[in-house]
Structure 1
Amino acid sequence: MESLNPFQTFIALIKFDQEAITTHKKAEKLRQSIDQENQKKSLLLKSLENAKESLKICQKEVQSKELKMKELAEQEAERKKLLDETSSKKEHNAIKREIDSLKRNQHNYEKELVEGWNKFDNAKKEYESIQNDLDTKISEIDKIIKISNKELEETATLIEQYKKDRVDKEKDIPDEWLQKYNVMHLQVSDPVVPLTGQSCSACFQELTRQGFSDINRNKMMQCKGCFRLLYVE
């Protein structure tokens, strides 16, 4: 098998790095996907917790109103008993007014109690609806996370292999090219680009006639516009 010249080896390294970048991007996308699914899971669990808390609050409100209704009924019964026992017309009228007031209060609390029960029923339906769907939704999320984690492990293995293989890919490449390439690689995703006609395909800086002649002889030079390394395909 014919060995590659330094220029061909350098281009092979560039393509190799581009594949590695694609794999890194895939890994990042997978991590973001896992984070998003975990956030969905947390929101679902939080919604169930909130619905449960709302149900408890509604239940306490109903119990409080029922207790108040019971107290008013007991007070009315006491006043009625006292009404039957009194012989004074003045006391009779006073007690009767108290009983009427208690009845009005009971009527008002009865309305509030009905509203409270309606709120409780709605809160219960909401809680049960979330609870019934929760297991299915959590199971779907866990399945997605499991698949993504498996793919992430595979990409991590690939990335480690890229790191090991890259050392061999750098061999026989002039140090000057590697230094410029590595510096530019930190600044842009495409530090080495081909010419389009007589111009840089990244920034469209046109080469001088001498520059175009030089690049065709040396196969590699730096763009004066964006400082990327240029080559002729």
Structure 2
Amino acid sequence: MVSEQTPFSTFIDLVAFDQGLRRLHGQIEQLEQAKREFQDQQNVIEVQKIQAKDRVHQLCKEVDKYELRMKELDAHLKEKKARLYIVSNTKEYQSINTEINITKSEQHNLENTLIDAWNKVESAQKMYEKIEKEHKKKLEEIHVLRQEVQRKIDVFQQELISKEQARDDKEKCVPDEWLEKYSMMRMRVADPVVPVLNTSCSACFYTVTEQGMQQLSRNQLLQCKECYRFLYLEQKDENEVKKTESSSETNA
């Protein structure tokens, strides 16, 4: 025979139900946090790719600058060599020849600089290609993980919607006064209703009086005088209190 649900037992069921809801909310939040972390990882990867690509771009600009200067030196050298054939005196000839030698020296130095710049471009390009390849694989892995996390979130959210709808039915059998106090405590602490263990509040360990224990054994709502959480007796403890009361009455 199924025992009839009392307002108190329904209230305790509601509390247990809400604890399940809270765990569900916690699981969803953990998954949402995982999604945010995956997004952060993806952002880091994208930044690394952009930085590597920008490095190649900046080095290519350096190469362009040196090549442009090399063209200017070539043009300058041709101009000076052409003037050697039309100079009218030795002094001017020597002056132009000196400029040619200086230009050739600058060209030589610039060639080495240009070769070094091209080597840096090639090295940076290889690094970019390596990063792009590695990051593409990593992004694919993150995408799969995010999809799996989102799938779990969707399942939990559907379960949450279903449970929250069922919660309304459970509230109907609980006195309004209890619900009001319970709702207020839920906003203050994560565990507004706790069992009594060894005649003490299991949250703050405040000792419950003998009278309080008797009230609890009769399924009366009792608040802890220290932390103000609602207290209740688990079934085995309730039976122990009733045995003690019965024994006391017999001895009397």
Task: Tell me the TM-score normalized by structure 2.
Answer: 0.85
8 Å CA contact 2:196, 2:231 repeated in 1: yes
Structure with the larger RCO, 1 or 2 (CA within 8 Å, 6+ apart): 1
Task: Quote the Cα distance in structure 2 between the aligned partners of 1:69 and 1:219.
Answer: 96
Which deviates more from structure 2 when the two are superposed, residues 7-16 or residues 109-118? 109-118
Task: Quote the Cα distance in structure 2 between the aligned partners of 1:217 and 1:139.
Answer: 60
Equivalent residue, structure 1, for 2:60: 59
Q: CA RMSD in A?
A: 1.8
Aligned pairs, number: 233
Secondary structure of residue in 2 paired with 1:194: strand
Secondary structure of residue in 1 paired with 2:57: helix
Task: Tell me the TM-score normalized by structure 1.
Answer: 0.91
Equivalent residue, structure 2, for 1:176: 177
Gaps of 5+ in 1: none
Deviations 1:192-233 (A, max 9, x none): 001121221111122233333333334430011111001111
Task: Quote the Cα distance in structure 2 between the aligned partners of 1:47 and 1:180.
Answer: 54
Equivalent residue, structure 2, for 1:13: 14
* Stretches (4+) displaced over 4 A: none
Task: Quote the Cα distance in structure 1 between the aligned partners of 2:192 and 2:142.
Answer: 39
Are positions 1:118 and 2:131 aligned together?
no
8 Å CA contact 1:193, 1:229 repeated in 2: yes
8 Å CA contact 2:8, 2:219 repeated in 1: no
Deviations 1:35-59 (A, max 9, x none): 2222322332332222222212211
Equivalent residue, structure 1, for 2:38: 37
- AA aligned opposite 2:83: L
Secondary structure of residue in 1 paired with 2:162: helix
Equivalent residue, structure 1, for 2:239: none
Equivalent residue, structure 2, for 1:154: 155
Are positions 1:204 and 2:209 aligned together?
no
8 Å CA contact 2:53, 2:128 repeated in 1: yes
Change (3 A) 1:2 1:211: closer
Task: Quote the Cα distance in structure 1 between the aligned partners of 2:220 and 2:11.
Answer: 11
**Following superposition of structure 1 onto structure 2, how do residues 84-103 of structure 1 map, counting pairs within 5 Å?**
84-103=85-104
Deviations 1:112-144 (A, max 9, x none): 213311221221012111222233222211111
Deviations 1:146-204 (A, max 9, x none): 11111111111111111111111123222222221111011111000011212211111
8 Å CA contact 1:219, 1:232 repeated in 2: no
Deviations 1:84-136 (A, max 9, x none): 44351111221122112212322332232133112212210121112222332
Gaps of 5+ in 2: 235-252
Task: Quote the Cα distance in structure 2 between the aligned partners of 1:214 and 1:26.
Answer: 36
Percentage of matched positions with identical amino acids? 38
Task: Quote the Cα distance in structure 1 between the aligned partners of 2:164 and 2:218.
Answer: 32
Secondary structure of residue in 1 paired with 2:189: coil
Give the CA deviation at 1:68: 0.8
- AA aligned opposite 2:58: I
